[in-house]
Amino acid sequence: MSSTPVLQVRGLKKTFITPFRRLRVPALKKIDFQIYAGEITGFLGANGAGKTTTIKCLLELAFPDAGEITYFGQKGLSLESKARIGFLPERPYFYEHLTGLEFLQFYGQLSGRLRGSELRRRAEELLERVKLQHAGARPLRGYSKGMLQRIGIAQALIHKPDFVILDEPMTGLDPDGRFEVREIIREVAQQGTAVFFSSHLLPDAEQLCRRLVIVKKGEMVFEGGTHELLDQVQRGWVIHWRSVDRMSELKSQPVANLVDLQLQIDTIRKQGGQIEDVTRMRASLEEIFMKIGFEDSALLKSQQVQSHEVAR
């Protein structure tokens, strides 16, 4: 895996001034993170935390007041870099008179990376991948919300981007659809593409993401490996064991820390017990997220740099 980040964001700041009353809305106070090839990075934060504003700044749909954005080792968003990036907006606009196939071909042409029969083949392949092959010849106006979301994802991938940004890709999908999208995201990353997606669906992020970037009120509260974050809240271990008689009932003994874990294992074995399993109890991302939301997130902040180093 290359160690040059696909995207590097440093010191991003953005304040909106509202029309009429000229109120200042500090949307981004200082955002720093990096994205690497072949990795899936989740971008998490409560409503209004600054996710969409960050994504808009990344794509030059909004302009930051300060900060530096580097793509593929080059400052700024050059035309060359644009052709290597795929994007699914939070609320995509669809040309409803186009069929699914025409829509994908239209966006594929815009990238300048594919044309002619190669583009058509790629569009058909993606229609199949997002389970819309039966609807490829139908105008988008007849698509359901879930179908539109899936064709939107196919649009973001049509030109085989090296980096894909998906703003809330699971929104509006039923459980089967979410499963499908997770599989597509995994597949795309396995092929070497960097995936950056924002989501409110924490179980999806926990399952998919090797790394996480978490923002709160325009500030970074965490950047690093998902496991580093989950490990920050210790829940202890549970020892599962049986007494010598193998037919006896399986017992569970919770322990809070590593020292107690060794002591309990020794005690059980001295008494002739047989250890069958030791399970580490991890906090879920949802639990940690609630902690970040309602408690002082200084703990996470203080470990941010360290966990970033560990994660790489």
Q: What minimum distance in Å lies between the beta carbon of 45 and ligand ATP? A: 5
Stretch that binds ligand ATP, among 48-56, 201-209, 251-259, 301-309 (CB under 6 A): 48-56
Q: What minimum distance in Å lies between the beta carbon of 173 and ligand ATP? A: 17
| Structure tokens, 121 | 């083949």
- DSSP code at position 150: H
Stretch that binds ligand ATP, among 47-55, 118-126, 150-158, 236-244 (CB under 6 A): 47-55
Among 21, 24, 47, 244, binds ligand ATP (CB under 6 A): 47
**Closest to ligand ATP by CB, 25 or 263:** 25
Stretch that binds ligand ATP, among 50-58, 67-75, 157-165, 245-253 (CB under 6 A): 50-58
**181 and 211 Cβ atoms separated by less than 8 Å:** no
**Closest to ligand ATP by CB, 47 or 117:** 47
**7 and 71 Cβ atoms separated by less than 8 Å:** yes
Which of 152, 150, 142 lies closest to 88 in space, CA to CA? 152
Residue numbers 177-196 binding ligand ATP by CB under 6 A: none
Q: What minimum distance in Å lies between the beta carbon of 5 and ligand ATP? A: 22
Does 52 contact ligand ATP by CB under 6 A?
yes
Taking the C-alpha atoms of residue 268 and residue 253, their distance in angstroms, rounded to an integer, is: 10
Give the x-and-dash track for 6-45 against ligand ATP (CB under 6 A): ----------x-x------x-x-----------------x
Give the x-and-dash track for 53-92 against ligand ATP (CB under 6 A): x---------------------------------------
Among 42, 50, 224, 225, binds ligand ATP (CB under 6 A): 50
Among 9, 31, 35, 49, binds ligand ATP (CB under 6 A): 49
Q: What minimum distance in Å lies between the beta carbon of 168 and ligand ATP? A: 7
**Residue written as tokens 């035309």?**
79
The residue ranges that bind ligand ATP (CB under 6 A) are 16, 18, 25, 27, 45, 47-53
